[in-house]
Amino acid sequence: MFLSEAEILAAVKRIAEEIAADYKDEVPIFVGVLNGAFMFVSDFLKYYPYPCEVSFVKLSSYRGLTSTGIVETLLDVPENIEGRDVIILEDIIDTGRTLQELVHIFSNTNVRNFKIASLFYKSEVYNGEYTIDYFGMEIPDKFIIGYGLDYKEQGRNLRDVYQINQTHMINLVLFGKPGAGKGTQAGYLKEKYNLKHISTGDVFRFNIKNNTKLGQLAKSYMDKGDLVPDEVTISMLKDEVEKNPDASGFIFDGFPRTAAQAEALDNFLESKDMKIHATIALEAKDEVLIERLLERGKNSGRPDDQDESKIRNRFEEYNLKTAPLKEYYEAQEKFHSVNGIGSIEDITDRLAKVINTLS
């Protein structure tokens, strides 16, 4: 996809005219969302013909928690906005996660009127939670740069907008029973191949620690060694992927664990022109794993690592729900098995051998 400067400016002008028609008798405050929206805000204001004010907000990152309202701002909402008409100017709305954070930070202010305007709008992926009052262009769910939008902070200065090709990615699933060493190996592989490591177990534990809604929901299942319901896990996983639009690949650790999760992952990745390149299983015997987990439980404080019956329950969940995924990935010719017993380095080498064969 390519959008020329002229097309973009036409869209900016259209939004400015639409908002002008609605607000000509007021003095609205336009609030740009940094960094991406700076160029849009600048051109927008040039097209806006009536009295107005401008300000900016900046969220700390898109990596904060969302379901809870743990939101950090680097540049906070403008002062003296009580009783005013506020219009958010966003460069792009995709899943709506940033928007959710924005609405949250403005929910404590007594503004008279709060509207949302976005230059680009990915209607296919937007969760629809809030009304988008004004938008410039609907675009497909592709990663774009230029006109303020970046790839690893670069490309914001381009006048036109370009689509980034993501075919160079490597996406891996690390497969294996609890204690097989998935987390440890992912730690090495992510450095070696510059990948983003997503451990669903870690995300759940982070949420439990922060006592978020998601954490409260997951805790009772995790403490017993049961799987968290698919619906919850799948939407969390998608959220984690969406948070890293510029990743050069992912290591999925502890996901998928059920057939429904595997199918959901394939469909989700396909919608983003992505795919799983390989599923690599780390194999080890139950006795070895139990020993490793009980040892880890002494330091980790994880309740599910401290009790043999809970560990056995996790194995049962695995045998029943996760092991059948072997066939699912074999049918796609993506399943690889690696001996998970040995030194950490030896096992990393075995994994690297598989990964290096991937195109």
Contacts 24+ apart (CB under 8 A), 237-240: 237/198, 237/200, 237/261, 237/265, 238/95, 238/268, 239/66, 239/95, 239/97, 240/198, 240/203
- 233 is an interface residue for ligand AMP by CB under 6 A: yes
Cβ-based neighbours of 97, under 8 Å, separated by 6 or more: 62, 66, 239, 242, 243
Instruction: Identify which range of 3-11, 125-133, 254-262, 264-272 contacts ligand AMP by CB under 6 A.
Output: 254-262
- 201 is an interface residue for ligand AMP by CB under 6 A: yes
Output the smallest distance, CB 88 to ligand AMP, in A.
35
- 212 is an interface residue for ligand AMP by CB under 6 A: no
Q: In the chain, count of helices (H) and strands (E)? A: 12, 14
Active site residue 97: no
Instruction: Identify which range of 70-78, 188-196, 197-205, 345-353 contacts ligand AMP by CB under 6 A.
Output: 197-205
Cα distance between residue 9 and residue 252, in whole Å: 40
C-alpha distances out from residue 286 to 225, 283, 325, 340, Å? 16, 10, 19, 12
C-alpha distances out from residue 206 to 6, 177, 189, 200, 214, Å? 45, 21, 22, 10, 10
Site string for ligand AMP, 306-325 (x = CB under 6 A): --------x-----------
Q: How distant is the alpha carbon of residue 32 from its chain centre?
A: 22
Helices 308-317 and 286-300 pack at an angle, to 10 degrees, of 120
Active site residue 46: no
Site string for ligand AMP, 143-182 (x = CB under 6 A): -----------------------------------x----
Site string for ligand AMP, 267-306 (x = CB under 6 A): -------------------------------------x--
When binding is defined by CB under 6 A, the residue of 190, 257, 336, 350 that contacts ligand AMP is 257
Cα distance between residue 258 and residue 262, in whole Å: 6
- 255 is an interface residue for ligand AMP by CB under 6 A: yes
Q: Cis omega (within 30 of 0) on the bond before 256? A: yes
> Which residue reads 């202010």 in tokens?
109
Output the smallest distance, CB 344 to ligand AMP, in A.
18
- 228 is an interface residue for ligand AMP by CB under 6 A: yes
Active site residue 296: yes
- 254 is an interface residue for ligand AMP by CB under 6 A: yes
When binding is defined by CB under 6 A, the residue of 126, 135, 162, 204 that contacts ligand AMP is 204
Q: Which residues bind ligand AMP (CB under 6 A)?
A: 178, 200-201, 204, 221-222, 225-228, 233, 254-255, 257, 261, 304, 314
